[in-house]
Amino acid sequence: MPLLNEEAPALPMDAQGILELAARSMFQLFSSVSQGMFLVDRSGRIVWVNEGYQRFLPALGFSSVDQFVGRTVEEVIPNTQMRRVLETGQPVLIDLLTNKAGTFVVSRIPLRDEAERGIGAIGIVLFDHPETTLQPLIGKFALLQRDLDDARRELASQRSRSLAVSGDGQRRAKYTFASFVGSSPAASEVKRQARRAAQSSSPVLLLGETGTGKELLAHAIHAASSRASGPFVSVNIAAVPDTLLEAEFFGVAPGAYTGADRKGRDGKFKLADGGTLFLDEIGDMPQSLQAKLLRALQEGEIEPLGSNKLVPFNVRVVAATSRDLGALVREGRFREDLFYRLHVLPVRVPPLRERRSDIPALVEVLGEDLALRNGTAPPELQADAMALLAGQPWRGNIRELRNVLEQAAMRSDSQSIDAYQLENILREAGVEPAAPVPHAVSEPRALGDECYLRPLAEQVAELEQRAIAAALKAHGGNKQATARQLGISRATLYGRLENPD
């Protein structure tokens, strides 16, 4: 009787042989179980299609494989992103492709030679008619999407309330780092610095213009710190009269002066014990109080007004200012020793004009918040309106942007808002609108044949962006209608808007 190992085929013993076997097996598997496959060479020309893919050819306008093979992929497959895979060398494992042949779930995988040089790519149709074949998955996704929408509405509702007060009277932070909207390099960097600051117990100094989100970051730092379960207490120094600031900070002993509460009154340092004290507009603090604040921070104890008793506290201080503290120190209007005490972990919050690419996301979030507050549908900005917003200097930053959006939403008879409406609002506020900055690729610089003497992929991408901008404008910024007219999915449209290159 022959031994089992004499009958079974042996696996390759070397790594290269195993890799070749695996690649061959995976190719055969995908070719048999997928709905269709095709290969393109380095230049993007179709070189092979399997039998499964051939059934899509009539819907694409081809009666035979010979008409299909040998042509560039953009010519024969509308809306394909295969060119991007060839240029970047990065796979797209799951994507939705919609064209006149239907809607498909596809994968695009680059092919490389032994020297890791790109030699082509393979396109795989995993599912056709995903609305039926993937119905269980789509149903689960729809349920998750509804839950996410409910959570967003609840978060927006929480943001609209005052600081939540717990049963023991302690006030908590109401924002996290997720509340700081933006994925631009400037926004990502400030969130990175703030997250690192949250892991420390040292004072944090938030620097930046008014309306940039300093208070939001102060909440987020507290929420991400080891003190998150403790109180978050804030004081806007600019909003408290100088004569009341000392009592506001350190509290008042019982009967300290005529008319004082017989039970006394705790100051902000005491209220924030075990948590975080946020000192907003620290640059406006009167010099008479700066020395007392410095001593409190150094010694960890305060002396309430009218008392001879020292009260210890455990507070992490986060300060913020829109003023140039360094200049105030040089002018003698801010104590140098207090400056160094606070300037341990400085975090500069960038103005909106340094992160213009975040404006569409901010507009969407602010619009949803306005809609929830007012019980209306969120405003839809046309492409020219978004381009106008991107070009403004925004002296008031996000606070000013919100004001402009709210005015536009309240004045408009429809959800759609165009650039003309925004220009009027800006002018009424005494601001001459700056030139718009379109997100779409600009027009060719020349009208002659020389403007076409560029890589074809670049020209195709440029035309695609102009088509998207035109469709958005025609549909008043409605992305669902835009995607439907262009014959692409909304996910694909969002991908083009976020990554126009």
How many other CB atoms sit within 10 Å of the CB of residue 434? 14
Q: What span, in angstroms and rounded, lies between the C-alpha atoms of 80 and 92?
A: 11
* DSSP of 394-422: -TTHHHHHHHHHHHHHHH-SSSEE-HHHH
Distances (CA, A) of 174 to 162, 238, 450: 9, 22, 57
Radius of gyration of the chain (CA): 31
Closest CA to 270 of 311, 221, 309: 311
| Average pLDDT score, the chain | 82
Residues 390 and 429 sit within 8 Å (Cβ to Cβ): no
The per-residue pLDDT for 246 is: 87
pLDDT above 90: residue 498: no
- Work out the pLDDT band at 423, boundaries 50, 70, 90: very high
Least reliable range by pLDDT among 101-110, 138-147, 475-484? 138-147
Q: What span, in angstroms and rounded, lies between the C-alpha atoms of 375 and 94?
A: 37
- Work out the pLDDT band at 21, boundaries 50, 70, 90: confident
User: What's the predicted TM-score (pTM) here?
Assistant: 0.57
Residues 397 and 187 sit within 8 Å (Cβ to Cβ): no
The per-residue pLDDT for 446 is: 40
Q: What span, in angstroms and rounded, lies between the C-alpha atoms of 178 and 7?
A: 60
H-helix or E-strand containing 119?
strand 118-128
Helix pair angle (383-391, 359-374), 10° resolution: 110
Q: What span, in angstroms and rounded, lies between the C-alpha atoms of 130 and 133?
A: 5
Task: Calculate the dihedral angle through the C-alpha atoms of 141, 145, 147, 151, rounding to the nearest 10 degrees.
Answer: 150
Can you say how many angstroms the Cα of residue 443 is from the centroid of all Cα atoms in its chain? 28
- Work out the pLDDT band at 152, boundaries 50, 70, 90: low
pLDDT above 80: residue 480: no
pLDDT above 60: residue 473: yes
- Work out the pLDDT band at 244, boundaries 50, 70, 90: confident
Can you say how many angstroms the Cα of residue 280 is from the centroid of all Cα atoms in its chain? 26
Average pLDDT over residues 147-163: 58
Least reliable range by pLDDT among 32-36, 119-123, 268-272? 32-36
pLDDT above 90: residue 15: no
Neighbouring-strand partners of residue 39: 48, 122
280 SS3 class: strand
Q: What are the tens digits of pLDDT across the range 297-313?
A: 998 888 888 777 888 88
The per-residue pLDDT for 31 is: 66
* DSSP of 89-102: ---EEEEEEEETTE
The per-residue pLDDT for 303 is: 85
Q: What span, in angstroms and rounded, lies between the C-alpha atoms of 233 and 277?
A: 5
Degrees (nearest 5) of the Cα angle 320, 322, 325?
80
Distances (CA, A) of 162 to 171, 221, 376: 10, 19, 22
Distances (CA, A) of 394 to 95, 175, 212, 411: 37, 23, 10, 21
The per-residue pLDDT for 226 is: 92
Residues 121 and 111 sit within 8 Å (Cβ to Cβ): yes
pLDDT above 50: residue 357: yes
The per-residue pLDDT for 4 is: 47
Closest CA to 194 of 232, 159, 156, 225: 225
Q: What span, in angstroms and rounded, lies between the C-alpha atoms of 424 and 420?
A: 6
Q: What span, in angstroms and rounded, lies between the C-alpha atoms of 314 and 204?
A: 15
Closest CA to 208 of 196, 225, 221, 190: 190
First-to-last C-alpha distance (Å) of the chain = 66
Average pLDDT over residues 291-297: 91
